[in-house]
Amino acid sequence: MNDLSNISSLRLGITAGGQLAKMLVLSASNWDIKTYVMDADPHCPASHNCTKFFKGSHTSYDDVYRFGQEVDMITYEIESINVEALKKLKSEGKIILPDPEVLEIIQDKGLQKLFFKEHQIPTADFKLFKDKSEIIMAIQKDELRVPFVQKVRQGGYDGRGVIVVDDPTKLSKLMDAPSVVEEKIRIKKEIAVIAARNTLGEVNHFPAVEMEFNPEANLVEKLICPADIPPDISTKAGKLADKLISAWNMTGLLAIEMFLDENDGLWINEVAPRPHNSGHHTIESNVTSQFEQLLRAILGLPLGSMELKKPAIMLNLLGEPGYEGIAKYLGLHETLQIAGVKVHLYGKKFTKPFRKMGHITILGNSRQDAIDKANQVKNHIKIIS
Ligand SMILES: Nc1ncnc2c1ncn2[C@@H]1O[C@H](COP(=O)(O)OP(=O)(O)OP(=O)(O)O)[C@@H](O)[C@H]1O
Ligand SMILES: [Mg+2]
């Protein structure tokens, strides 16, 4: 898009309408861009803030295709979109960014891994299997040995569709689906880097963040920026991120999850071509947020500075286990008494155990200061019903 003199009338389509779309809508609204959101749920987080809401499923060819007729360009907040509809729209001249061809590869963890291999991107060694019986056969023939990690090729998210088979008893949990089976990495830390590339080919990345998972829910619970890793590893992670987004020749954001192993080796785990949970803190802690950066990238604007202004922690606000029903937020007053605390509630009416209901960014004067404040916040806030 070269002529932005009419940016106020630009109709930006976003599928679907979860919290990532909501934050993108809020950012686009700063530039008076008109946001059109499609989601199957009329009460989804982005529905209340967007310019126009369309009810429709992002997995349906007809719904996505029809939505495309209403907007000037489409971007997305979720991978599982009907890619055939996006390709059709693109062939008819609609701007779809990131490219549907990139999305199509990333939707399939098998194709993703093959892409890494082809471009000499370090990733855990892997094999592809058609189904569970093929995996069992490989074990019987001693071609595959425990420990390993099985991942379904399509449709997994938030740890669903991934099993770590670290002892033979776990073999009973093998999933019967086309899968990637990969070497189990001895992980010291999980980090993430979000890279951006604009239509002009300019590339940059946010500083690496460190992710801590909730062991029960297999969800990111806490994220710390900057990551506590040696400077040379942080530089290496950034270079890998730039290399990967350039290899795809894509326009937009690429969120890259990486493992740092016990010998300080870096391995690419998986990628997502969209804003990511590991970039929420950038709204307050970086010069440019991931959402503004996505807009800059797809509109052909210069990328903004991705520099960290202050150390930050991001806490995902997950629904408290044991509660299901209309959400109630406890401890907001106490939480907001702490300096540098920014609360984001997504506006999901119903809570359930471990549902992502919001997040909190905590800015600190040092990394330790942010960690101390985050520990206080965790004691105050709870989402129950
Ligand atoms: N090769 C591996 N070795 C060791 N642990 C692994 C490996 N692959 C995945 N894991 C563990 O499983 C988690 C989930 O894996 P992965 O990120 O591939 O799945 P996902 O369901 O797409 O995740 P999400 O949607 O939460 O990002 C990782 O964060 C990591 O803790
Ligand atoms: Mg992951």
- Residue 270 CA, ligand 1 centroid: distance in Å: 8
- Does residue 260 have its Cβ closer than 6 Å to ligand 1? no
pTM: 0.97
Token pair of 61 as six digits: 């060819």
Nearest-angstrom CA–CA distance, 209 and 216? 22
Q: Report yes or no: 280 and 314 within 8 Å, Cβ to Cβ.
A: yes
Q: Which bound ligand lies closest to the C-alpha atom of 182? A: 1
**Which residue, among 208, 161, 113, 157, has the nearest Cα to 20 in the 3D structure?**
157
Distance (Å) from CA 269 to ligand 2 centroid: 7
Asked whether the beta carbons of 144 and 96 are under 8 A apart, the reply is no
What fold characterizes domain 187-384? D-amino Acid Aminotransferase; Chain A, domain 1 (3.30.470)
Looking from the CA of 34 toward its CB, the CA atoms found within 13 Å total 13
271 CA → ligand 2 middle, Å: 8
CA-CA distance, 104 to 118, in Å (whole number)?
17
Which secondary-structure segment (H or E) carries 19? helix 19-29
Closest C-alpha to ligand 1, atom 16: 159
**C-beta 122 within 6 A of ligand 1:** no
Domain boundaries, the chain: 7-96, 125-183, 187-384
Phi and psi torsions of 371, nearest 5°: -65, -45
In CATH, what class is 7-96? Answer: alpha beta
Here the tokens at position 251 are 């326009």
pLDDT score recorded for residue 2: 60
Is the CB of residue 123 less than 8 Å from the CB of residue 116?
Answer: yes
Topology alike, domains 7-96 and 187-384: no
One CATH from 2.40.30.10, 3.30.1180.20, 3.30.1490.20, 3.30.70.360 for 125-183: 3.30.1490.20
Render each residue's pLDDT in the chain as its tens digit; 385 residues.
667 899 999 999 999 999 999 999 999 999 999 999 999 999 999 999 999 999 999 999 999 999 999 999 999 999 999 999 999 999 999 999 999 999 999 999 999 999 999 999 999 999 999 999 999 999 999 999 999 999 999 987 766 899 999 999 999 999 999 999 999 999 999 999 999 999 999 999 999 999 998 877 778 889 999 999 999 999 999 999 999 999 999 999 999 999 999 999 999 999 999 999 999 999 999 999 999 999 999 999 999 999 999 999 999 999 999 999 999 999 999 999 999 999 999 999 999 999 999 999 999 999 999 999 999 999 999 999 9
